[in-house]
Amino acid sequence: MLKEEQQPENGEPAEKAPKKQAVLSNELPIEWTQLNDGSNTRPVRYPLDVAEYSNDPEETYLEIIGTAGLKITNMGKDLYRTCSPNLTHLIFRSHLITKMEGIREFQKLQVLELYDNQVEDLNELGDDESEEQNPGKTIKTLDMSYNVIRDMDPVRFCPNLLAHMYFTRCTLFYPTDLANNKIKVISCLQHLTTLRKIDLGANRIRKMDPEQFDNLINLEELWLGKNKIENIEGVSNLKKLRRLDVQSNRLTSVENLVGLEDTLEELYLAHNGIDDEGAMKASGLMLQFKELTTLDLSKNRLTSCKPFAHMFSLNELWVSSNEIGTFEDVEPMSILGTRDEACLKEVYMEHNPIYNDFEYRKRLKEIVPSLVQIDANVIGATGFGSVLPKRPDEIMEQMKALQEKAIQRAKNEEQAKREAQQEPAGEGNE
């Protein structure tokens, strides 16, 4: 997962922490395969058992990745004693940690990443009794994706979260009581006024509570894919929102986007149940978005291109795997490719009924002349691919198939003409 460069509160780029990765043990981790063998025993591994690192006060960056070698199972209550007291970056990725602990003494911690572990709660971030020692107060990036988090409440002790907050797929690791161990409710976001990005994908969230988003005046990216959301709500006050992802949910219509017309650049709505009517709501896609360059409506129930015929700023349009049946259904968006300063360059329409037409790309290019790429194919002026298959036999096979289709189409048209000419004569003989 990529991380954007951290930004301090004054808006200027922060000085990057020197990356000095810990030296990992070369011991073969046979125990990984024995964790579910029926025994209740599991190895105990602290960070120093897995890697060598320094507690030199000059060190500010500690990263131990568990994809090779031994895995940490316990952070340890005295973790701060083994590390530099001036750590700004603490990254323990892909281990078997079940409890966040030992970080209360880190008063300069800015980045905390425990991605891909088995952490059950966030209580170590702070509490109401010891506010001065809450490590969450300095954290600007928090990544707890792929853990077993049940409750988001402790994030309220991280008022300075600036860049990212990830809670992607916070699921139960063990097979028991699975239904009760995924985040179902968005909570405690109203305190995070400096936050720029939130990822709550792959949970069980059903509602976008407007109260949770009201104070997120600096939020630029909101990722809520793979949840159970039925309606988009609460985003009208997000005056800096540039990317909104609500794909793989339970949407049947797109509404409540008023207020995003001047800022929204990318909108991802794939894998829902949106039809033409649901895509043409006045407070949704029918708004005049000035900056929207990417729209993804793949795998929905659209039958025409009317819902986005007015989106003059689009560069990329994804409508693969819908129900667009004829090229007449594509015609409404022709204005996006024929007007002056047309900027629509890429369209993805594969796996619609029209995709089966052997002149599919050629006809799309005729309707939208500005296109330079259709699906994954860069196209030439005629609509055909500008890059042919490499092997000569593939070229010949492709040309032969196109020729046969063209001949068969011509025969069908000729036969239809003959039948049309013979019908009057037949009626007269009767």
> Per residue in 377-425, pLDDT tens?
888 766 666 544 446 776 677 778 778 888 888 888 888 888 777 765 5
Structure tokens at 44: 């105990």
Query: Cα–Cα distance between 66 and 116 in angstroms, integer?
Result: 9
- Residues of the chain whose pLDDT is less than 70? 1-40, 131, 163-182, 381-391, 394-395, 423-430
Give, for 52, the enclosing helix (H) or strand (E).
strand 51-52
With beta carbons less than 8 A apart as the criterion, state whether 99 and 77 touch.
no
> 335-365 as b/e, with b when 16 or more CB fall inside 10 Å?
ebbeeeebebbbbbbbebebeeeebbbeebb
* Backbone angles phi and psi of 48, in degrees to 5: -70, -20
Closest by CA position to 106, among listed 65, 149, 55: 55
Residues 6+ apart with CB under 8 A from 167: 144, 145, 149, 152, 183, 199, 200, 203
Give, for 373, the enclosing helix (H) or strand (E).
strand 373-374
C-alpha torsion angle, residues 161, 163, 168, 174 (rounded to 10):
-50
How high is the pLDDT of residue 145?
86
C-alpha torsion angle, residues 325, 273, 287, 233 (rounded to 10):
180
Question: Between the CA of residue 112 and those of 71, 163, 264, what are the distances in Å?
Answer: 18, 12, 29
How high is the pLDDT of residue 89?
96
How high is the pLDDT of residue 7?
45
Position 225: which residue type?
Answer: G
Tell me the β-bridge partners of 65. 93
Please tell me the pTM assigned to this model. 0.74
With beta carbons less than 8 A apart as the criterion, state whether 142 and 155 touch.
yes
Query: Cα–Cα distance between 267 and 256 in angstroms, integer?
Result: 13
How high is the pLDDT of residue 335?
94
Query: Cα–Cα distance between 324 and 303 in angstroms, integer?
Result: 4
How high is the pLDDT of residue 22?
67
Query: Cα–Cα distance between 8 and 88 in angstroms, integer?
Result: 13
> 287-301 as b/e, with b when 16 or more CB fall inside 10 Å?
bebeebbbbbbbbbb
